[in-house]
Amino acid sequence: MLNLAVEQALNGLQLGVTLFLLAAGLTLIFGIMGVINIAHGSLYMIGAFFCAATLAATKSFLLALLAGIGGAALAGMLMEMLVMRRLYARDHLDQVLATFGLSLCVNEAFSIVFGQRPLYVDIPPWLAGSVEVVAGVPYPTYRLAIVVVGLLVALGLYLLISHTRIGMLVRAGSTHRDMVRALGVDVRLLYTLVFGLGALLAGLAGLMAGPVYTVQVGMGEQILILTFVVVVIGGLGSIRGAFLAAMIVGLVDTALRAFVPPWLKTFMEASAADALGGGLSSLGIYLLMALVLLVKPRGLLPAHG
Amino acid sequence: MAETRALRALGLIVLVALLALPAVAHFAKDPAWISLVTRMLIYAIAAVSLDLILGYGGLACFGHAAFYGLGGYTVAILFHHARSSEVLWGLIPGSTQFLVTVPAAMLVGGVVAAAIGALSLRTAGVQFLMITLAFAQMLFFLFSSIATYGGNDGMTVRRRNEMPGLDLRDDTVFYYLVLALLLLALWAGRRLVRSRFGMVIGGIRQNERRMAAIGIDTYRYKLAAFVIAGMGGALAGALMVNHARFVSPDMMHWTKSGEFMVMVILGGAASLIGPVLGAVTLVGLEDLLGQIPKWGEHRMFAIGAILVLVVLFGKGGLWGWIARRLSRGGDG
Amino acid sequence: MILARTLFSAALAVGPLSLAHAQAPVKIGFVSTLSGPAGYLGQDIRDAFLLAMEREGGNRLGGVPVQLVVEDDGLKPGAAKQIVDRFLKTERIRVVTGVVFSHLAVSIVPDVVDTGALFLSPNAGPSNFAGKECHKNYFVYSWQNDALHESAGALANNLGYKNAFVLAANYQAGKDAVAGFKRLFKGKIVEEVYTKLDQTDFAAEMARIRAAKPDVVYQFHPGGTGIAFLKQYAQAGLNAQIPMVGAEPMLDVATLRAVGDTALGLNVGVKWNTDFDNPESRDFVAAFQKKYNRVPSYYAGQGWDTAQALAAALRVVGSDNPDKLAAELRKANFKSIRGPFRFGPNQHPVQDWYQVQPVKNADGSLSLKTVGKILAGHGDAFSKDCKL
Amino acid sequence: MAEPLLRAIDLVKAFGGLMATDHLSLDVGEGEVHALIGPNGAGKTTIVGQLVGELRPDSGRIEFAGEDLGALSPPARLLRGLARTFQISQLLLDDTAADNVALAVQARAGHSFRFWRDARADPRLRDEARRHLVDVGLGAVADRRAADLSHGQHKQLELAVALASRPRLLLLDEPMAGLGPTETQAMIGLLAGLKGRVTMLLIEHDMEAVFALADLVTVLASGRLIASGPPARIRDDPLVRDAYLGDGDA
């Protein structure tokens, strides 16, 4: 039982860091530019596709990694310069609509170029296999690597934001947007860079998810809604909030799936417990978000004030 | 004043065209137009009702499909029970009467909207957007797992509802009924947005703080608007299930909520004609682009691009654009 | 805005009003899911159908000139309804086919058969129309959905497993799949797990499987989620410890390519495979590979069989008279790539089911190898309720 | 003198470590004009927020006409006769000036759950709205969109909207802010005309206006009351000159 709990905790952590990588970019972009970006899921897909295609062509994991994050970052900056820039002054509805349109375009373009069949991505051989974390619990090395990378990125983001000049601007930008403009900073460049950073993180999440999930057109939209849940629970614009919420969502979601059906079975008939458990775990995260918002309408750690 | 005259003339032409459509379609041996336009008009009802809160009230609701789907399921479930003559929860008998099922659907939509709205309206802005989405997704998953009503596959409603004196199974009759209901909804909407209540809703969109400062408890008004919109969405869903003779959880999926938002903003929010235009354009585009051989399956690329361009360059949506052209024409 | 206007008028130019012209060839309405993540399924069926027409010298089936009107439903029931409405009313099409997904079939089949037209399903076989609501104009060339998963249950019996851990996506088709598996599986169900429909991470389920230590795992997850499940099963090291069985949709050629070597060791119940040793199958596989440069999936196989069945009926009838065609179709007088093929009383297939396994070819690629028969002449559980 | 109309008793409000309101007590008698002045950051806006109910004091009490306002919401306070104008105009910019005022008339008349009749064609609303607009000198622009009016006209419109609530006490949050000399004179004239009819709590920077209008002046610095009394005394109070008038802010 303890072994199972350890394994499930790791699983929750791994889902949590994947969500965090996506949510960090989304919430950063919202915090600084005030934009809701529905096309963020497309950046995740771009990272996974560029990585898969490069890997298939060159067989080099390093090149594939660079192509994935570089491609996503470039795509993000391009997106910012061509479309997003014109949306900063608009209301959220216009932003949702335009970025939704953008995601349709990007997805369809990828399905024209790459086709709709899922692509294959292998795990680097040195990350294949399992590690015994606790005695008797073999855990996939690759998933551990995702957890480590995710935590390192979180640490890096923390250092970047609390100890560098760009970070200072980012922090100031998320609480006093006008002040940053007044500081004489090249705001346009800052915005493009921040967007590129968010895209890079999404691309990284996408390429790491490739060998575990499915590399396919539309993969971004599937996880996007969950990412929005994380961002909103954490408090829009707050990276610390996104980290906290990603961990909570990852752990709660995993725990619901892992422990609720067996628990229900202790006092219910088995097949009814399975059905109810399945339903509860489907609803769980949305219920969690609704509850959090009812108690704290601005999320757990809101960025503004 | 040339502007209003031009608008009146345009409205009259459109109305005549809509009235003549069945005859023209039959004459052209192309009766499928009737059901295509019926579908557009039903979506228009959903979009207009969403516009009441989204456009006029400034409340970004991302869960309108929940009410649309509930309206549809109400009709389908009542039909199901009328057919099997089982009584729902031991007290509600089934029905196939249009005049029973559609008001019932609106009632259900209104009651659920009151519940969802009462909770959601405690938040605002993006949080409101997300919490309405969350409630809609919960309903989606709920209906996806009710085996009795078809689960994810949905269920067929083998016959349209009945109405004394009208043969609703006739597509032309049903078309005119939907057209009449849309016109009724537009007329009611026009009265509503100009009423005292409508003034308050418009005021809340522009400046909620101001409304509180003149003594208006904005929460109650937003909730009332939310309920009315929910009933409108349920009406559209009830009509759609009658039209399509089929219901499925797809009607509640978040992408459907997104489509409704697209219709409103594409057509022009905070106007009554805008959402109608948006519904007609979006459904028409998808249908017509889909018929292009070979490239039709990539139509979402064009639709996505159009959305981006309309938002970036077409202020006020299609209706805003038309209104500007007309007024420019009137000036020169 | 100009772009929108241009596109709209371009679209109008090919719109329905202009399509209503001379009626020489028999029109066949093909509505399928061609766009979006699941689009390749519909494309395979369409390509096989077109191949069948081309093999008769172009635009012919059973010697009769035909025109295939292809449209994409985008996986939306509403759009599918609209397309079918246009097929039936404007184009006066009497034969409709193509549909991949059950819930789309459920939404349009009544429209088609109520107007007296024929519906030939190349893939979807929902229980809705297999029992009491079966119809004389409705034919299924793939399977009844439950029968598909029954094959996996029987396969688990044949392999001698005594207890099974079953998982399926939490929606109706998933529950039907579990019901189908359980109907024939004689062992004990250790645990029954329903996953979220849009779930991509199955780590929690992997841990539960490991803890439960079943003889065998059976799972059904549609599309991309199924691929994710297989990859994660292997990455958790489970495929070395606990064998897995599944039904045909678990492992088609596209899935096989996407999961790679991790598929090795799986056992799958199928009704047809590319290595079947009969002239029709060999001929089809070779022709498909030559034309499209890829291995045909079982979806393609079903599309081909549907086209062959229609061709056989058209050859006798010579027109699209639905009643005469239905009478001919009911005889199922065509050469299926599966070998013997006949209909049950509900016009769903009664057929043999086989066990296949992924194997590694000399060049490192993977293919599916048939290793034995699971069930012979297997119909479905609903046909007894059908009174035709 | 009778019971004051508004009493703030020992209000405390802190944001983090910052004391925005530091044990402040304040009375406004019926019919008087009480001015509240103080340098930027003295905590004037925070007081307004607590009085109208947008902010909750950490401790202390607010009484209006003998009733403890407690946790009443801003709308509930307005219906008891406590109206306010905003320092930064909060107007419905898409609507006409008359619409802005008519809404306040409508709100005062009770609930607005009337869904059918055209509100703009309702003489009960329009006539009164027009009267208030004429009162503040906006009669000529009643049918212009608020967005198209000048800054000074916005300030006048704010006043008309507040008057439409027929308040017993009018909380004026810097009505002269951003006005030119002539506009300021006009506004002072307007307010002087109201004096005696409506009790006013005037938060203002413009000393000329304060000394022209106020019966009593209270001076705040860093959230604390440092002086209170008739204008003449305040003008000569060395403490006030030091804390406020001396810093060049006026």
| Residue D156 and residue D97 share a domain | yes
Average pLDDT over residues D135-153: 93
pLDDT at C300 over 80: yes
- Nearest partner of D5 among D71, D66, D84, D83, judged by Cα: D66
**Cβ–Cβ gap C3/B305 under 8 Å:** yes
Residue B274 lies in a domain: no
Q: Please check whether residue B325 touches C, CB under 8 A.
A: no
What does the alpha-carbon distance between residue C130 and residue C112 come to, in Å, rounded to a whole number?
16
| Residue D177 and residue D72 share a domain | yes
Nearest CA in chain C to A118: C258
**Of residues C195 and C28, more confidently modeled:** C28
Side chain identity, residue A27: T
Q: Which residues of C touch A276 (CB under 8 A)?
A: none
pLDDT at A272 over 60: yes
Residues A13-27: tens digit of each pLDDT = 999 999 999 999 999
Domain limits at B50? 36-266
Q: Please check whether residue A302 touches C, CB under 8 A.
A: no
| Residue D172 and residue D161 share a domain | no
Nearest CA in chain B to A106: B301
**Of residues B11 and B52, more confidently modeled:** B52
CA distance D162 to chain B (A): 7
- β-pairing verdict for D67-68 and D199-203: unpaired
* Residues forming a β-bridge with C64: C61
From D136, D166, D196, give the residue that closes a domain. Answer: D166
| Residue D76 and residue D189 share a domain | yes
Question: What does the pLDDT read at residue C149?
Answer: 93
Nearest to B197 among D90, D93, D115 (CB): D115
Q: Which residues of C touch B305 (CB under 8 A)?
A: 3
Residue D184 lies in a domain: yes
Residues with Cβ < 8 Å from C61, sequence gap 6 or more?
Answer: C26, C28, C52, C53, C307, C310, C311, C314
CA distance C209 to chain A (A): 10
What does the alpha-carbon distance between residue C375 and residue D9 come to, in Å, rounded to a whole number?
88
CA distance B10 to chain D (A): 24
Nearest CA in chain A to C175: A275
What is the residue whose two structure tokens read 């809604």?
A: A225
Q: Is A134 helix (H, G, I), strand (E, B) or coil?
A: strand
pLDDT band at C184 (very low <50, low <70, confident <90, very high): very high
Side chain identity, residue A7: E
Structure tokens at C156: 């688990």
pLDDT at C162 over 60: yes
**Cβ–Cβ gap C37/A117 under 8 Å:** no
* Residues forming a β-bridge with D200: D33, D170
Average pLDDT over residues B28-51: 93
Nearest to B215 among D93, D107, D118 (CB): D107
pLDDT band at C331 (very low <50, low <70, confident <90, very high): very high
Number of structural domains in chain D = 2
Residue D131 lies in a domain: yes
Residue A33 CB-half CA count within 13 A: 26
Q: Please check whether residue A223 touches C, CB under 8 A.
A: yes
Question: What does the pLDDT read at residue C15?
Answer: 43
Domain limits at D102? 91-166
Nearest to D115 among B192, B206, B215 (CB): B192
How many pairs of residues across B and D have Cβ atoms under 8 Å apart? 98
Touching chains B and C? (3+ Cβ pairs < 8 A): yes
**Cβ–Cβ gap C16/B30 under 8 Å:** yes
Question: What does the pLDDT read at residue D207?
Answer: 83
Looking at A151-165, B45-59, C18-32, which range is the least confident one?
A: C18-32
- Nearest partner of D157 among D71, D89, D233, D66, judged by Cα: D89
CA distance B151 to chain C (A): 5
* Number of neighbours of residue C222 by Cβ within 10 angstroms: 18
Residues 39-78 of A with CB under 8 A from C: none
Q: Please check whether residue C362 touches B, CB under 8 A.
A: no
Residue A228 lies in a domain: yes
**Of residues A263 and D146, more confidently modeled:** D146
Residue B76 lies in a domain: yes
| Residue D192 and residue D157 share a domain | no
* Number of neighbours of residue A184 by Cβ within 10 angstroms: 7
Buried b (16+ CB within 10 A) or exposed e, B250-280: bbbbbebbbbbbbbbbbbbbbbbbbbbbbbb
User: With pLDDT > 70 as the criterion, what percentage of chain A qualifies?
Assistant: 94
What does the alpha-carbon distance between residue D210 and residue D181 come to, in Å, rounded to a whole number?
14
What does the alpha-carbon distance between residue C83 and residue B170 come to, in Å, rounded to a whole number?
19
Average pLDDT over residues D151-180: 93
From D166, D191, D225, give the residue that closes a domain. Answer: D166
Residue A302 lies in a domain: no
Nearest to B291 among C14, C78, C111 (CB): C14
| Residue D115 and residue D210 share a domain | no
Question: What does the pLDDT read at residue C5?
Answer: 38
Residues with Cβ < 8 Å from C206, sequence gap 6 or more?
Answer: A11, C232, C233, C236, C238
Q: Which residues of B touch C81 (CB under 8 A)?
A: 35, 244, 246
Average pLDDT in chain B: 90
Question: What does the pLDDT read at residue A259?
Answer: 84
What is the residue whose two structure tokens read 């299926």?
A: C336
Question: What does the pLDDT read at residue A120?
Answer: 83
| Residue D182 and residue D144 share a domain | no
CA distance C273 to chain A (A): 19
Average pLDDT over residues C333-358: 94
Q: Which residues of B touch C222 (CB under 8 A)?
A: none
Question: What does the pLDDT read at residue C37?
Answer: 79
Average pLDDT over residues C188-193: 91
**Cβ–Cβ gap A118/C254 under 8 Å:** yes
**Cβ–Cβ gap B125/A279 under 8 Å:** no
Question: What does the pLDDT read at residue A174?
Answer: 62
Q: Please check whether residue C123 touches B, CB under 8 A.
A: no
Nearest to A258 among C43, C170, C204 (CB): C204
Residue B170 lies in a domain: yes
Number of structural domains in chain A = 1
What does the alpha-carbon distance between residue C265 and residue C246 come to, in Å, rounded to a whole number?
12
Q: Which residues of B touch C72 (CB under 8 A)?
A: 290, 296-297
Residue A237 lies in a domain: yes
Q: Is A140 helix (H, G, I), strand (E, B) or coil?
A: strand
Helices A92-114 & A40-58 angle (0-180, nearest 10): 20
Question: What does the pLDDT read at residue C20?
Answer: 38
Q: Which of B3-12, C20-29, C258-267 has the highest mean pLDDT?
A: C258-267
Q: Please check whether residue A124 touches C, CB under 8 A.
A: no
**Cβ–Cβ gap A14/C203 under 8 Å:** yes
Q: Which residues of C touch B323 (CB under 8 A)?
A: none
* Residues forming a β-bridge with D12: D59
Could you please state the CATH topology (level 3) that the domain comprising C146-270+351-385 is classified under: Rossmann fold (3.40.50)
Q: Which residues of B touch D119 (CB under 8 A)?
A: 194-196, 198-199
CATH of the domain at D234: 3.40.50.300
From D166, D197, D231, give the residue that closes a domain. Answer: D166
**Cβ–Cβ gap B35/C85 under 8 Å:** yes
**Cβ–Cβ gap B196/D92 under 8 Å:** no
**Cβ–Cβ gap A118/C35 under 8 Å:** no
Question: What does the pLDDT read at residue C11?
Answer: 45
What does the alpha-carbon distance between residue B229 and residue B260 come to, in Å, rounded to a whole number?
12
**ipTM metric:** 0.83
Question: What does the pLDDT read at residue A304?
Answer: 57
Residue B306 lies in a domain: no
Structure tokens at A68: 């994935």
- C5-143+276-343: which CATH number, 3.40.50.2300, 3.40.50.11900, 3.40.1480.10, 3.40.640.10? 3.40.50.2300
Question: What does the pLDDT read at residue C12?
Answer: 45
Number of structural domains in chain B = 1
pLDDT at D222 over 50: yes
**Cβ–Cβ gap B310/C90 under 8 Å:** no
Looking at A180-189, D69-78, D97-106, which range is the least confident one?
A: A180-189
Question: What does the pLDDT read at residue C19?
Answer: 40
Question: What does the pLDDT read at residue B187?
Answer: 95
Residue D86 lies in a domain: no
Q: Please check whether residue B240 touches C, CB under 8 A.
A: yes
Q: Do domains C5-143+276-343 and C146-270+351-385 have the same CATH topology?
A: yes
Average pLDDT in chain A: 87
Average pLDDT over residues A171-178: 66
**Cβ–Cβ gap C203/A15 under 8 Å:** yes
Q: Which of A131-135, A236-240, C112-116 has the highest mean pLDDT?
A: C112-116
pLDDT band at C6 (very low <50, low <70, confident <90, very high): very low
* Number of neighbours of residue A58 by Cβ within 10 angstroms: 12
**Cβ–Cβ gap C171/B144 under 8 Å:** yes
Q: Is-contact D98 D144, C-beta < 8 A?
A: no
Q: Which residues of D touch B209 (CB under 8 A)?
A: 86, 90
| Residue D236 and residue D126 share a domain | no
Looking at C41-45, D49-53, D111-115, which range is the least confident one?
A: D111-115
Q: Is-contact D228 D28, C-beta < 8 A?
A: no
User: With pLDDT > 90 as the criterion, what percentage of chain B qualifies?
Assistant: 60
